[in-house]
Amino acid sequence: MVLGTTSGAGKSWLATALCRWYARQGLKVAPFKAQNMSNNARVVAPTLVASRTALPPEGAVSWLGAARRQDAGGEIGSAQYFQALAARAEPDVRMNPLLLKPESDMHSQVVLLGRVDDELTRMPWHERGAKVWPAITRALDELRAQNDVVVIEGAGSPAEINLKHSDIVNMRVARHADASCLLVTDIDRGGAFAHLYGTWALLGQAERELVRGFVLNKFRGDSSLLEPGPRMLEELTGIPTVATLPMWHQHGLPDEDGVFDERSAHGGAVHKTVAVVAYPRISNLDEFQALKNVPGVRLVWARSPADLARADWIILPGSKHTTGDLAWLRSQGLDRAIAQHAQQGGAVLGICGGLQMLGEALIDTQGIDGNGPGLGLLPLVTVFEPAKLVKKTRSRFGGMSGPWASLSGAEVSGYEIHNGRTSQHAGMAPGRVAMADGLAWQNEQGNVLGVYLHGLFEDAGILHALFGASVPTLESVFDGLADFIDLHFAAGAIQGLIRDPAGAPAARAPGTETE
């Protein structure tokens, strides 16, 4: 299990690297995170999962013995999706049984085992733990039974003593699985030794005994200068520092929250600047990681009109609260800047919630998202419906024009996660249908494009059509992560985490060979 002294310490990144490292040893590996809070979610294919009945009054989740096949896809956090791919495993809703998707500062939509659970969403936060813990442990136990290694990711810090009574994601999970734990800290922030010692000190004795090593992440400079810090820390805690990982901006893996850092952009001359509008409830920003890796492309945030001044493309990404983010966009004056950019022939792309914003109107009679006028750049109307559409999709662009002409006829695979249903405005001249089945539209001039499909830039064919470039594949990224930790961890430390108390290594999956 990978724990962190803070959010952003490097848990997701390290867990992904470990998934690939163990998979390369010929082991059958699965990731797991009991609860994730993120608006970056992925759709997983129909999966055999145990059926769940309605929550009974006493709060226990009842499971039927027979598994059922879900008719539609389910949602899991993007971090566990990528970890599953790194583990060479099929992404599964059990790998992230509880997903919280923030819709405001005080409210989150609750997704349990891939499906929105309205009862849990309405429930006070502190009451959810007892309701969901049986589902969490069942999912974890099934993964442990079916795999040689399960790489578990914690959340935030395990030393939040004000939250310990309701913990369902950190040390309670570690104790349930009797997991060997790594505690990682971001040394670039400063205070790393205090973070490690303080976290360890606030754990109970039985919990401390599960911690097998400390990891210093994002280090700059000569690691010998850290001495005698690691040795003194081990004298205080009995726990060795098993790795000092150098700062690495260009590893190629999307950050868990989809936040990109301009320092990690691809080097070289900039030929195209792409501005992504960063409204408060942005979602699925991790899908833009591939753009960050394209030579000659500069990816920037846009929070003010000035941020759009030199943009070649403007992207309106997904949103967990479309009307709220649209109101914020207007309050910043970004609506006028986007309109001006479009009027001058600049390329505008709206994805999912961004597509909905580009239309004429947002209509909500069910209290789902809210009513409001759109930006009026596409002749579309979106009506919000209670049922969320969650599925993987493969489609093809039709005849395209303007800056998107190179997409004509291109096939694309992606995924849909949205409540709204969008159609042409009955009282306006129709726009161009860019993709069948209500998936995409283009304005008559050809420079404004709206699509419901997430994952465009993760499709190699789309990237080649737009940029004539290839970017590192996810497989090469995962292998690079595994190589990196193999180089910087103490010899035998990674393998030692999966030895049982008697010292025997984990058994390999039948029919596999150690690489």
- Catalytic residue (choose from 321, 341, 454, 488): 454
Domain 2-251+477-496 shares a fold with domain 262-467: yes
> What DSSP letter does each residue of 122-159 carry, written as one string?
HS-GGGHHHHHHHHHHHHHHHHHHH-SEEEEB--S-TT
Three-state SS string across 22-70, please? HHCCCCCEEEECCEEECCCEEEECCCEEEEECCCCCCCCCCEEEEEEEC
CATH (one of 3.40.50.300, 3.40.309.10, 3.40.47.10, 1.10.150.650) for 2-251+477-496: 3.40.50.300
pTM of the model: 0.78
Between CA 275 and CA 316 the distance in angstroms is 9
Q: 262-467 in CATH: which number?
A: 3.40.50.880
Two structure tokens written together for 451:
């699509």
Active site residue 181: no
How far is residue 450's CA from residue 443's CA, in Å, rounded to a whole number?
9
Q: Compute the distance between CA of residue 20 and CA of residue 87 in angstroms, rounded to an integer.
A: 5
d(CA 342, CA 346): 5
- Write out the two tokens for 63: 């499971």
Structure tokens given for 456:
């465009």
Choice among 19, 181, 195, 352 that is catalytic = 352
Q: Are strands 74-77 and 41-44 parallel, antiparallel or unpaired?
A: antiparallel
- 233 C-beta neighbours (distance < 10 Å), count: 22
Task: Pick left, alpha or beta for residue 252 (phi over 0 → left; psi -120 to 50 → alpha; otherwise beta).
Answer: left
The answer to whether residue 249 is catalytic is no
CA separation, residue 422 to residues 281, 380, 439 (Å) = 20, 7, 9
Q: pLDDT 10s per residue in the chain (515 long)?
A: 999 999 989 999 999 999 999 999 999 999 999 998 887 888 886 554 443 433 333 333 332 222 333 346 788 998 999 999 999 999 999 999 999 888 777 778 888 998 888 888 888 877 888 899 999 999 999 999 999 999 999 999 999 999 888 899 999 999 999 999 999 999 998 899 999 999 999 999 999 999 999 999 999 988 888 999 999 999 999 999 999 999 987 777 776 554 455 544 455 688 899 999 999 988 888 888 888 888 889 999 899 999 999 999 999 999 989 999 999 999 999 999 999 999 999 999 999 999 999 999 999 998 888 899 999 999 999 999 888 888 888 899 999 999 999 999 999 988 898 888 999 888 787 778 888 888 999 999 999 999 999 989 988 889 999 998 777 778 989 999 999 999 999 999 999 999 764 444 554 444 443 33
Where do the structural domains in the chain lie, given as residue ranges?
A: 2-251+477-496, 262-467
Q: 303 by DSSP, 3-state: which?
A: coil
Q: How far is CA 145 from CA 24, 48, 321, 329, 509, in A?
A: 20, 15, 39, 48, 12
